[in-house]
Each structure stands twice: as C-alpha cells, then as structure tokens.
C-alpha cells in the first residue's frame, strides 16, 4: 500500500509540473520552451501527464456553464471581504457570476452592448473589458463571455442594476445574411444567432421569454428554477432549464435540436406562455390557445423534432449535432481563399492576436482550403510555418507573415 | 472533386489535424479513458517527439505535442477501421468526420464526463476549487484571482497546479477503481 501511495505522490508531482507547463507555455520565451522540451524528453510519463492534464483542461473549458458552483469563502482566508469586485455584499457566500447586467455582443472584439437599455447610455467601460484579456487562456467562446462577464459585472455594478433590465419590452437581436453573432443575456444565458435571424427577448420577474421570429439560434440556458426559459417559434414553444438547444424557424415548421440537457417542446406556444404567467402579445396564427390540448414532448440531448405550425409533430430523431457543433465552435471554413482574406477573418475574431502581412509579395499565390477553429489563430500560424514560401515572425504585439 | 494531394501523408494528416485542434482535446478525453490506451498513446507520442527536430519542437512545443498526439490518434483510428489511407476528398472527409474527431461524441458520454468532473471538483479543498473555478470557468488571470482572494499570485498558481494535478490523477484512479469493480 505504501508503495501505491508513493506512486500516487509521484504522479501528483508530475501532473503538477504538467499543469504548470500548460499554464506557462502560451507566454513562454525560448529558454522556457527549451526547458519544457527537456522536461518532456525526460520520460514518457511526463508526456502522459501532460496529455492527461491537457484533457482535464479541455473538459474544464465547459465546466459548470450554469455557474452553479459558488466560489465560497475559504475559512483560512480571513479577509474574504476584500472580494469587492463581484459586486455582491460581503459576508454571505457570494456567487461570482450572478450579475450579468447587460447583453453583450461578442464578435469582432468588443463586448459591446446592443439594443436599448432603458435609462442607460452606452457605457464607457467597454474598452476595459477587453483589456488584458491576453492574460486569459484562449478558450471556448462561452468562457470568453464569462471572462468578459465577470469583469463587466464589476464595471457595471452600481451603474445599472438588474431591475433596470426587468422590463416588459421586447428587445431585438438581429443578424444579416451571412452573419453570425453571439450575445450574453442579462442572466448569463447565451444566445448564438445564425445568419438572417431575428430573436426578441423579454425578461421579467416570472419568465425569460424569447421569440424566434426568423432564422435559427442556439440557446445556452443558465439554470434558474424561478424563471423558466421559454422560446417561441411561431406556435411552437420550447422550455428549458439549464440546457443548450437550437431552434430553427422555417416557414411552415420549427426544428428543435437539443445539444445538452433536456427540453420540453410545447406544440402550443401560447399555453406555455400563459403557464409562465405571461402572455404572448400577438396571437399566433392558425391556432387558438383554447384548442389542441396536445401533450408536450420531451427531447433530450442529441434528439431533434420538427413541429409544424399547426401543432403536428412531424419528425423526431437524431439531431445533426455535427452541424450545430461546428457552428457553436465558430469554425472558419475557407475554400480556395487567398491568404489575405484568411488572415483578415482571423483578425476579426481575435482582436488580441493580430496577424499582418509584411510586404506585397508575401500573400501572392497563397490559397487555402481548410477549416479552422476561429479562436485558434495558432493553428493557422502552424500551417503557415510549414509553408516553405513563407516566414512567420512573432513579435511582441503581433505576428508578421513575410515571403521567405 | 479532388483535393490537391500534399507532398506526403504526414503533412496531409498534419494539416487536417491542425485544423481540428479542438476536436483533438475531445479525442484525448475519450482515448485516455482507459489506462492501457493512455499509456499506449503517450508512449508512442513520446517516441515520436524524440525523433522530431528539436528546434521545431522548441519553436512550438505545445502545438507539436498535440500534433503528434493527434497523428498517433488518427493512425490508431485508421488502424481500427482497417481502412487504407488514400489522399482524396473522401479521405479528408473520413478524417474529419471520423468519430475520433467527430464533434458529435455520444451525448451520454459527455454527460458522464461532466458528472465525473463535478464529483471530482467537489472533492477538492475550497481553496483549490475557488482558484480553479475562477481561472477556468470565469477566465480570470492568476493575478486577478490573487487580488480577488487576497492571496499571493504564487499561492494562486500553486493551488491551480495542485488542483489540476489532483483532478487529473484522481480521474485516472477513479477509472482504475471502476475497472476493478467490474
């Protein structure tokens, strides 16, 4: 047994080293990287530990999206009250991410506010939100939002209380053709819009309601038992508690696909709305709340259902998760695209990681047919670095691509 | 439609794999679920890393580890399927679609992993969990965490590495226990 204990201790030590390298590598200088390579070369166990820790790290990217885990005071740290940044009164265990005060857009860089927040002008703190985000790990998009959210919560605390947002007004989120956007909603739920989509959002004390007017959206719902999260697509109502799902509205029907968790699909949006203590303003076409007492359908992760506007459930089966994941993960797909455009696209998604083309000759004749993670410009650089015609020059604040 | 075949199978896989870096993580998650596979993959990765040119490795250390790991993974996968690798658009689709990299990992599995992780998180000490959650979930830098929790940055880092190590090792042990239960 003693032996086993010693093994575990050794494993822990190696894993700690691996975790340290994982954290350090993105900003490591050459001599540190050299050190890391030496460490790797020491033993296959080190490689294994590094892969294990990387895997843990990857799964932590998606940990607790609902923010259920509270950062509680550590009894050993006496001055927990220094934690003023989270805007919660000191004393009780303060959940860190509760105060998402305003919707934010999270594409081309800024965590910008959109729409009209009653009684509040565009905040001047926006730039601050992005500041020093280079410190943060490049991560899944919702982690990025969380990062922005935590900081934003601090900036906005006091400026804008949650009550300000609790209005009965519908607020619109819109994308044009060929455009995809992501928003963080006031409660920390996330809204990802596919191209040509319009979603209207209304948050009240009783319910979180969203109307999908056209197009397609993914909803990543933050757990809140006191206020159901309802999505209406024409006559179809979808209710979720702490889950992630997509709804696509088409002319005659709506397709609901569940990525995580479970949702309830109601073939009568008005009934769902009424149940949540509110009412849909415009009566849906063709169906009266009074008739069609159809049973709701429950879908779980990986399932999809198509519901016709008249309430008929047409198809229920396996969802095309690959397509949704691809969208969710912000994949950039290039088909025979020239280098200049590829770089421009990456720069748009990564304001803190700008790539420039140095000199007129560099981009000439370079075409790419590839698919990338939009938030991982390193993958592009890795490809460019293997290109004998190009030279990748990493500088302090940007990367320059030159002809060899 | 056929894609222009790159110079060698190696660079071809490399290109595909680089483009699919995030799926690699998911693959690792799954592949490393059994101890034999983990040791297997790690050993092979190790040997290949040793063969790599050191300067390359030093230039992009983490990327190369993932690259090599995913090459090993892809080959594993192809071996399992006993499909010969041809450099055409179909091969590309196979590589990108194949379950090793497929985004649509069985949902049940994902839930399991999440649950397991939640359980392991609960086993951490409060201090360790606080740091880990603030870093990984909320994306705070170690410096920010230090000021938030009134700790030194050194301590924050120590907790962070220890927490990661504990998760990583206890997941491995949990797997072993499950195995011996069966």
Query: Mean pLDDT throughout B64-79?
Result: 67
Q: Which residue has the higher pLDDT, A196 or B156?
A: B156
pLDDT at residue A93 in the model: 34
**Distance between CA atoms of residues A400 and B17, nearest Å:** 24
Burial of A227 (0-12, 13-18, 19+ CB in 10 A): middle
CA distance A300 to chain B (A): 9
Percentage of chain B beyond pLDDT 90 is 11
Q: Does the pLDDT value for residue B38 go beyond 80?
A: no
ipTM above 0.90, yes or no: no
Q: Does the pLDDT value for residue A120 go beyond 70?
A: no
Q: Widest CA span of chain B, in angstroms?
A: 60
Residue of B nearest to A320 (CA): B104
The structure tokens 């990984």 sit at B136
Given a contact cutoff of 8 angstroms between Cβ atoms, the answer to whether A172 and A144 are in contact is: no
**Distance between CA atoms of residues A74 and A400, nearest Å:** 46
Compute the mean pLDDT over every residue in chain A, rounded to the nearest whole number. Answer: 69
Provide the b/e sequence for A295-319 (b: ≥16 CB within 10 Å): eebebebbbbbbbbbebebeeeeeb
Band of pLDDT at residue B148, cut at 50, 70 and 90: confident
Residue of B nearest to A33 (CA): B58
Q: Does the pLDDT value for residue B94 go beyond 70?
A: no
Concatenated DSSP letters of A305-369: EEEETTS-EEEEEE--HHHHHHHHTTEEEEEEEEHHHHHHHHHHH-TTSEEEEESTTTTTT-EEE
Contact call for B43 and A50, based on CB within 8 A? no
Q: Which residues of B touch A73 (CB under 8 A)?
A: 126
Band of pLDDT at residue A301, cut at 50, 70 and 90: confident
Indicate if the alpha-carbon torsion angle A137, A141, A146, A149 is positive or negative: positive
Contact call for A382 and B67, based on CB within 8 A? yes
Q: Which residues of B touch A80 (CB under 8 A)?
A: 149-150
pLDDT at residue B33 in the model: 52
Q: Does the pLDDT value for residue B82 go beyond 70?
A: no
Q: Is B135 helix (H, G, I), strand (E, B) or coil?
A: helix
Burial of A54 (0-12, 13-18, 19+ CB in 10 A): buried
pLDDT at residue A306 in the model: 87
CA distance A256 to chain B (A): 16
Band of pLDDT at residue A198, cut at 50, 70 and 90: very high
pTM over 0.80: no
Q: A31-40, A352-361, B1-10: which range is least confident on average? A: B1-10
Q: Which residue has the higher pLDDT, B165 or A178?
A: B165
Q: A84-93, A310-319, B145-154: which range is least confident on average? A: A84-93
Q: Does the pLDDT value for residue A234 go beyond 80?
A: yes
Concatenated DSSP letters of A221-249: PPP-TTS-EEEEETTEEEEESS-EEEEEE
Please name which of B26, B138, B88 lies closest in space to residue A133, comparing C-alpha atoms. Answer: B138
A312 and chain B: CB distance < 8 Å anywhere? no
Of B29, B45, B150, the CB nearest to A55: B29
pLDDT at residue A79 in the model: 38
Query: Mean pLDDT throughout A113-141?
Result: 36
Contact call for B164 and A30, based on CB within 8 A? no
pLDDT at residue A148 in the model: 37
pLDDT at residue A178 in the model: 60
**Distance between CA atoms of residues B11 and A334, nearest Å:** 18
pLDDT at residue A186 in the model: 74
Dig out the tokens for A311 from the structure: 């309430």
Q: Does the pLDDT value for residue B160 go beyond 90?
A: yes
How many contacts does A have with B, using Cβ atoms within 8 A?
Answer: 249
Dig out the tokens for A241 from the structure: 């508690």
Band of pLDDT at residue A16, cut at 50, 70 and 90: very high
Contact call for A11 and B169, based on CB within 8 A? yes
pLDDT at residue B36 in the model: 56
pLDDT at residue A383 in the model: 77
For strands A313-318 and A331-338, give the pairing. Answer: unpaired
Q: Does the pLDDT value for residue B132 go beyond 90?
A: yes
Of A57, A69, A302, the CB nearest to B164: A57
pLDDT at residue A80 in the model: 37
Band of pLDDT at residue A240, cut at 50, 70 and 90: confident
pLDDT at residue A17 in the model: 95
Contact call for B117 and A54, based on CB within 8 A? no
Q: Widest CA span of chain A, in angstroms?
A: 74
CA distance A141 to chain B (A): 11
Sheet holding A398-403, edge to edge: A354-358, A398-403, A390-394
Q: Which of A48, A65, A303 to probe by mutation at the B interface, max B CB count within 10 Å?
A: A48
pLDDT at residue B108 in the model: 44
Query: Mean pLDDT throughout B31-58?
Result: 70
Residue of B nearest to A336 (CA): B3
Q: Which of B18, B50, B94 to probe by mutation at the A interface, max A CB count within 10 Å?
A: B18
Residue of B nearest to A370 (CA): B19
Q: Does the pLDDT value for residue A109 go beyond 60?
A: no
Of A12, A47, A62, the CB nearest to B42: A47
Q: A244-253, A262-271, A360-369, B154-163: which range is least confident on average? A: A360-369
Q: Which residues of B touch A11 (CB under 8 A)?
A: 169, 172
Q: Does the pLDDT value for residue A123 go beyond 70?
A: no
pLDDT at residue B100 in the model: 35
Q: Which residue has the higher pLDDT, B108 or A42?
A: A42
pLDDT at residue A144 in the model: 34
Contact call for B171 and A8, based on CB within 8 A? no
For strands A354-358 and A398-403, give the pairing. Answer: parallel
pLDDT at residue A395 in the model: 87
Question: C-alpha angle with apex A201: A198 to A205, nearest 5 degrees?
Answer: 170
Given a contact cutoff of 8 angstroms between Cβ atoms, the answer to whether A273 and A254 are in contact is: no
Band of pLDDT at residue A2, cut at 50, 70 and 90: low
pLDDT at residue A377 in the model: 78
Q: Which residues of B touch A321 (CB under 8 A)?
A: 103-104, 107
Contact call for A64 and B118, based on CB within 8 A? yes
The terminus-to-terminus CA distance of chain B in angstroms comes to 49
A50 and chain B: CB distance < 8 Å anywhere? yes
Contact call for B104 and A386, based on CB within 8 A? no
CA distance B139 to chain A (A): 5
Given a contact cutoff of 8 angstroms between Cβ atoms, the answer to whether A229 and A189 are in contact is: yes
Q: A62-66, A245-249, B15-19, B62-66: which range is least confident on average? A: B15-19
Q: Which of B50, B92, B139 to probe by mutation at the A interface, max A CB count within 10 Å?
A: B139
Q: Does the pLDDT value for residue A1 go beyond 80?
A: no
Top mean-pLDDT range of A15-19, A318-322, A334-338, B138-142: A15-19
Band of pLDDT at residue B20, cut at 50, 70 and 90: very low
pLDDT at residue A282 in the model: 47
The terminus-to-terminus CA distance of chain A in angstroms comes to 59
Contact call for B32 and A55, based on CB within 8 A? yes
Q: Is A172 helix (H, G, I), strand (E, B) or coil?
A: strand
Query: Mean pLDDT throughout A30-59?
Result: 85
The structure tokens 């991982």 sit at A376
Residues 6+ apart with CB under 8 A from A121: none
Top mean-pLDDT range of A123-127, A206-210, A289-293, B92-96: A206-210
């Amino acid at each position: 047994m003693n032996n086993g204990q010693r093994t575990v201790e050794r494993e822990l030590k190696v894993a700690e080293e691996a975790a340290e390298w994982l954290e350090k590598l993105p900003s490591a200088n050459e001599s540190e990287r050299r050190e890391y390579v030496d460490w790797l070369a020491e033993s296959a166990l080190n490689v294994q530990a590094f892969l294990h820790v990387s895997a843990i790290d990857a799964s932590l990217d998606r940990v607790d999206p609902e923010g259920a885990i509270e950062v509680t005071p550590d009894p050993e740290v006496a001055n927990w009250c220094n934690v003023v940044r989270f805007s919660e009164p000191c004393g009780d265990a303060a959940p860190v991410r509760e105060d998402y005060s305003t919707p934010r857009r999270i594409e081309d860089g800024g965590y910008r506010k959109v729409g009209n927040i009653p009684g509040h002008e565009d905040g001047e703190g926006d730039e601050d939100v992005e500041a020093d985000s280079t410190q943060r790990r490049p991560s899944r998009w919702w982690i990025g939002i969380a990062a922005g959210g935590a900081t934003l919560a601090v900036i906005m605390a006091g400026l804008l209380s949650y009550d300000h947002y609790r209005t009965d007004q519908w607020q619109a989120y819109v994308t044009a053709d060929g455009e995809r956007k992501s928003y963080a909603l006031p409660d920390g739920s996330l809204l990802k819009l596919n191209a040509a989509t319009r979603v209207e959002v209304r948050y009240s004390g009783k319910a979180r309601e969203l109307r999908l007017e056209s197009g397609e959206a993914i909803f990543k719902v933050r757990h809140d038992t006191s206020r159901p999260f309802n999505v209406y697509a024409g006559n179809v109502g979808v209710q979720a508690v702490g889950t992630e799902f997509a709804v696509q509205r088409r002319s005659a029907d709506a397709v609901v696909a569940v990525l995580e968790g479970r949702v309830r699909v109601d073939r009568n949006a008005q009934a769902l709305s009424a149940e949540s203590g509110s009412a849909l303003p415009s009566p849906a076409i063709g169906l009266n709340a009074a008739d069609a007492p159809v049973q709701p359908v429950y879908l779980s992760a990986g399932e999809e259902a198509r519901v016709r506007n008249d309430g008929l459930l047409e198809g229920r089966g396996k969802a095309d998760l690959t397509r949704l994941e691809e969208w969710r993960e912000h994949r950039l797909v290039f088909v025979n695209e020239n280098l200049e455009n590829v770089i421009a696209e990456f720069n748009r998604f990564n304001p803190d990681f700008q790539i420039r083309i140095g000199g007129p000759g560099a981009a000439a004749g370079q075409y790419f047919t590839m698919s990338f993670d939009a938030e991982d410009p390193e993958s592009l650089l890795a490809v460019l670095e293997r290109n004998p015609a190009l030279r990748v020059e990493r500088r302090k604040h940007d990367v320059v691509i030159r002809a060899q | 439609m056929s894609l222009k075949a790159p110079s060698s199978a190696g660079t071809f896989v490399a290109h595909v794999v680089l483009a699919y870096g995030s799926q690699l993580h998911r693959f690792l998650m799954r592949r490393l679920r059994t101890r034999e596979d983990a040791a297997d993959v790690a050993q092979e990765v190790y040997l290949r890393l040793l063969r790599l040119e050191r300067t390359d490795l030093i230039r992009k250390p983490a990327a190369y580890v993932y690259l090599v790991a995913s090459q090993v993974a892809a080959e594993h996968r192809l071996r399992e399927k006993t499909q010969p690798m041809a450099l055409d658009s179909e091969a590309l689709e196979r590589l990108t679609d194949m379950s090793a990299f497929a985004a649509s990992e069985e949902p049940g599995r994902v839930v399991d992993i999440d649950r397991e992780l939640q359980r392991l998180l609960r086993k951490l000490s409060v201090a360790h969990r606080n740091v880990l959650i603030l870093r990984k979930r909320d994306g705070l830098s170690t410096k920010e965490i230090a000021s938030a929790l009134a700790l030194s940055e050194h301590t924050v880092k120590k907790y962070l590495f220890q927490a990661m190590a504990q998760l990583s090792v206890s997941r491995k042990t949990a797997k072993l226990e499950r195995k011996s239960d069966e």
